[in-house]
Structures are given as structure tokens and as C-alpha cells.
Structure 1
């Protein structure tokens, strides 16, 4: 076993014994890893009470050569997730990020852009007014990084460019928006206006700053959430559990 160092966001913590824990992290350097933290339940020791859900830590671990848990040997707290007091929506949004990273990423498949997007989202969740924008940005970056981002440039049916001034449908099973000429009743649950399509392209883009200047109208946010919820649920094979709390 070789010793590795990484920065990681804690996605799940499970008690394993009277003194130990199993910890799943999404790391900057290695992607998702699962490790056994011997002594992780003790107040003092090599983990310094750092193993909390959605905390960011600098860790040292021994990587197993075969399948099974890695061995966490050290964790130093970098930051904790602190939503505003009594703001349950922000808290649930943080849990939602963890749920998606657990369900839609593979072990040892690093995505630096996705790690940055997760950290940006948690920072935005500190402010109620920016929570949902942070949620949809994270959803779209996740879809992009795992190769499941819907096409917001061209019609998923005929391939025609989606032009300004028109209203589109969304066809989740074909992975994209549909022009008016190709729309059918069975996949026109909600209309996606051209301005929303432009917002989706910006939110899904590689720029880490441009999307933060967006100010979505309520109807645009509704349309964006329809697209991201449908796409995430389609890839995951079910509706994410935390969405019912965010929807309220």
C-alpha cells in the first residue's frame, strides 16, 4: 500500500465500530474514495474531530491495491459547511450535492472542475438568495463532467440550430432541447424559452465566473429546474431523495 495525500469533501460518514468510521470523500486529486478511519470516533487523535459530513479536509491515506476500503491515517480540517442558522433549504442543498456525488461518480475518477463546482455550490448555499442558482450550476457541471449534459445548442431530433426568439421543448430520453418543428405532445411538458436556453448554456459552461452574474426570473428558474431535474433523474434512474426537500 502506498501513502497518498489529498484534499476532499466528506460525502458520508458511517460508524464501523466503537472507535472507527467508514468515510466516503470526493477528492480533488483522486475523485471518490472510501476509507476506514481507525479511531475516527475518538475526540482526540489523527483525525482531530474533522470527519463531519460536508467538511473539507486534508487527508493522508493508504491506497489498497485490490478492491476494498482504503485506510485513512490522518485528516486535518480545512473548513466546515455552515449554512445560515435555521435555513433548512441551504442545509438540504448541501445534502443534495453529497447525494449526487455519491450516486453519479465512480471511484478513483477525478474531475477537478466538478470538485471546484461542489465547493462553489456549498459557498453559495450560505446565502438563501443564491442557493438555487448554486444548485442548478452544480447539476449542470456534474452532467457535463460525466458526459450526460443535454444539448442546448441544436435540436435533439433534427439537429437544427436552436435560434433566438423561439420556444423549445425538452426531450430527456434523447438528451436535449427540441425545436418547434419537431415537438410532439408526449415531450412538451414545459416550454423552454430561448432566454432560458441561453442561460442553460452559460450555467453549463467551463467559465467559473460568468454564470455568477446571471439573475434568473422565476419562470426561467422553473424552466431550468425542469431540465436539470429531468436529466439528473434520468441518469440516476430515480428521482434524487433530497429533491423533495428542495422543492418545498
Structure 2
């Protein structure tokens, strides 16, 4: 068995004195791990860092085997991202979230969303909103996507400012008014209604509150788990001193 694909490094685990087990999210083969001989060498260590994009050739005798990777760097972002606390917490949080995705299943849309996110993960103007969108993409890939295109009650696409915690569908201002204390806020940047180049801190907080609710309800809680601490730290940095 053999294939070659592009992938983003999620993490590495030491194996023996010189090798590592590399974990990638690949474009066509999903989340995939493999052994890299010599992965702890001076030549490969800078390449096998979280956030980098690599070209990986995987080989194994049988498909169910761990197999081995031969890896070459394509886009090495890690040295830049390591200088940003926001990016470091973001990398840890996204890797944790991606481990809920079944191994070896392709997730094309999620991969594209991830590559855009890691390109800008150290940019405080762009990373927070991109991370919220990444979490929405995660929910969709796991079968819990939100429907934010029209009002669940009236079908209108106007004045959408709430989300139903039961259905995950948008709700208009008029339809949601009697129940507003029980509805989640829908930040305008998720439906193209933010006029500023950068969403406000309150919008970003509303976005993370929205994804946090559905991630907890549908992903973390059913497995008896909680959101990673790194996510909370990322959110705190992303919204610090911004209203």
C-alpha cells in the first residue's frame, strides 16, 4: 500500500531514540499517523512541527498497519507561529479538536478551513473569527452542522440574530423576541453582516459561546470530556481588552 498526499502536522510522539510517530490531517486521506524513521534528526525536526504543511508518502504492507511516512516540507510556518502565544494555544486546541474526527476518513472542506486558519493563526485581527469558523466546520464534519441561512420559525433570511439551542437553526429578531433569554446569540460576522474589517470582541465571544455550546452538547459531553484548557486560553487572548 502506498499513497502521497499533502498534510498539516498536528503532533509528533517520540518512539525510540531516533524515530517519531507523526500525526497529520491530510487533504485526501483524513487524519493519519505513521512512523518517521530519523524523525528526531536535525534535518527533520524543524519540518515535523505542528502547523507546518508537508508532503507525505505513506507506505505499509496492509492498509490497517501503522505504516511509515517519508516527509518533505512544503510550507514551514512553525518558526513564525512559535513566537505567538495566541498561535501556540490555537495549535494545541485545534489538534485536540481534530482528534474527534475519525481516522483515515477524508474531510476535504475541513482541511481547507484548517489551512486558512494556520496561515493566520498568529494574526490577532484574523485568527479569532477564523477559529470560530473552523469549529463550525468541525461540527459539520461530525454531523452536527448549524443552519444559519434562514429563520427556523418563519423562513426569512433577514434580521437573523439568534440560534436555537435545540435545532441549531437561526432565528430572526421578531420570531425570537418572546424566547430571547433561551436562545443563543448569532454574531453578524458568521452571516456576512459585520461592517467592520474585524469583528468586535463581543461578537467573537458570542461566536465562541455558540460553538462551545454545540461542541459540549454533541462532542465533549457524550464522551464524558470537556473542552481543552488551551481553547479557553486562546479565547481569552483573542478577546482581551476588546469590546
Q: CA deviation at 1:94?
A: 2.2
Alignment correspondent of 1:7: 6
**Aligned Cα RMSD in Å?**
2.9
Alignment length, in residue pairs? 226
Q: Distance in 2 between matches of 1:92 and 1:147?
A: 26
Give distance in 2, aligned partners of 1:80 and 1:136: 21
Match for residue 202 of structure 2? 219
Q: TM-score, normalised by structure 2?
A: 0.79
CA distance in 2, matches of 1:64, 1:230: 43
In structure 2, stretches of 5+ residues that fail to align are 237-243
Question: What SS is found at the alignment partner of 2:116?
Answer: helix
Output the CA distance in 1 between the equivalents of 2:160 and 2:131.
26
Unaligned runs of 5+ residues in structure 1 are 204-210
8 A contact 1:58–1:77 mirrored in 2 = yes
Distance 1:7 1:84 in 2: 20
- Give TM-score scaled by structure 1 length: 0.77
Structure 2 counterparts to residues 65-84 of structure 1, below 5 A: 65-72=62-69, 74-78=70-74, 79-83=76-80
CA deviation digits over 1:90-118, x for unaligned, max 9? Answer: 22112222222122x22221122211211
How has the CA–CA distance of structure 1 residues 140 and 166 changed in structure 2, closer, same or farther, with 3 Å as cutoff?
A: closer
- Provide the C-alpha distance between the structure 1 equivalents of 2:52 and 2:159, rounded to a whole number of angstroms: 44
How far off its partner does 1:184 sit?
7.6
Which residue of 94, 99, 120 corresponds with 1:97?
94
Match of 2:20 in 1: 21
SS in 2 for 1:232: helix
TM-fit CA distance, 1:81: 2.6
Deviations 1:25-78 (A, max 9, x none): 11112111111122222335xx47522222211111114525341222x11111
- Does 1:243 find its partner at 2:231? yes
Does the C-alpha gap of structure 1 residues 234 and 64 become closer, same or farther in structure 2, counting only changes over 3 Å? farther
Q: 1:100 to 1:85 in 2, by over 3 A?
A: closer
Change in Cα spacing, 1:177 to 1:41, as seen in structure 2 (3 Å) is: same
